[in-house]
Amino acid sequence: MALAFSGAQPAIAGQVEPTNAQTSGRYVFSGWEGPDLPVWYQLPDRVAVDTPVVFVMHGVNRDADRYRDEWAALARQHGFIAVVPEFSRADFPGSRGYNTGYFANTDGSPRPRALWSFSAIESLFDEVRQRFGTQVPRYTIYGHSAGAQFVHRFVLFMPDARIEQAIAANSGWYTMPDLDTAFPYGLAATPIDEASLKVALGKPLTVLLGTADTDTDDSDLRKSPQANRQGPHRYARGQTFFAQAQQTAVSMGATLGWSLETVRDIGHSNAGMAKAAAQRIAAWAKRDEQR
């Protein structure tokens, strides 16, 4: 089904015009096997059966409300439902609990797949469709900073996810698509095998980089030897990640669906990257309409 972004237009069959109280808010999602998740959302002026769903993954501060606010006008402008799940530090501790997927405990023992932080998204998508009335079969998932770490690993670890497109903006460091490098910097000793990696490489993932995200002294930038080998700053590390994907795809004979795009003069700012990402989402929808 092609994505359709609705602007201001008369109501038609299959559309629901939300009341003011319904257009933006917060609720608690409990429809998966993991902990309850607060969910912040923004609806467009009208919701139809073909209204797209865009998941927005927050950063290290776990400030889902701010991310929703920064996407609110974009959701209304382009006619999509913005959904921002909140992964608390208490239930999803550190990078292990949130942005690397929580598929293993601190001792390295595996956690049930149903309890991975990644696993919340598919169940939440079903709930969002039921709650708001859209019937689109796939979704977009966007993340900035730690949220971008979540997104690119989500693509790698959830090859069967119903992704329309994924956008990872300004990730601080990466899990490389490399089966020989140890996790979390590669995929060795993880549930991902060669067949799964081939599927992941074919997914429509955009690595979105701000050209000014070059601060090497940022306190939130991981500076381990393994991370530093990816590059001195986020802009360089994103290019290294994409180059590794190209190399892996060639060596495996896989089709690469990933792309690398830059946003000129934007640093480490979700608000700055969100506008560019939303424009890309709208362009993707227009391309689908023309097929």
Supply the pLDDT for residue 15: 54
The residues that bridge with 210 in the sheet, in sequence order, are: 263
Q: What is the pLDDT along the chain (291 residues), one digit of tens a residue?
A: 333 333 333 333 455 555 444 799 999 999 999 999 999 999 999 999 999 999 999 999 999 999 999 999 999 999 999 999 999 999 999 999 999 999 999 888 899 999 999 999 999 999 999 999 999 999 999 999 999 999 999 999 999 999 999 999 999 999 999 999 999 999 999 999 999 999 999 999 999 999 999 999 999 999 999 999 999 999 999 999 999 999 999 999 999 999 999 999 999 999 999 999 999 998 877 666 655
Determine how many CB atoms are found less than 10 A away from the CB of residue 227.
17
Supply the pLDDT for residue 289: 62
What is the identity of the amino acid at 120?
A
Domain map of the chain by residue range?
23-289
90: buried, middle or exposed (CB in 10 Å: 19+, 13-18, 0-12)?
A: exposed
The overall pTM is greater than 0.75:
yes
3-state DSSP helix/strand/coil percent for the chain, to nearest 5? 35, 20, 45
**For 23-289, which CATH class?**
alpha beta
| Closest C-alpha among 259, 156, 154 to residue 199 | 156
Supply the pLDDT for residue 164: 97
Q: How far apart are CA 148 and CA 257, in angstroms?
A: 17
The two three-digit tokens of residue 188, written as one number: 């060795």
Supply the pLDDT for residue 16: 52
Supply the pLDDT for residue 21: 45
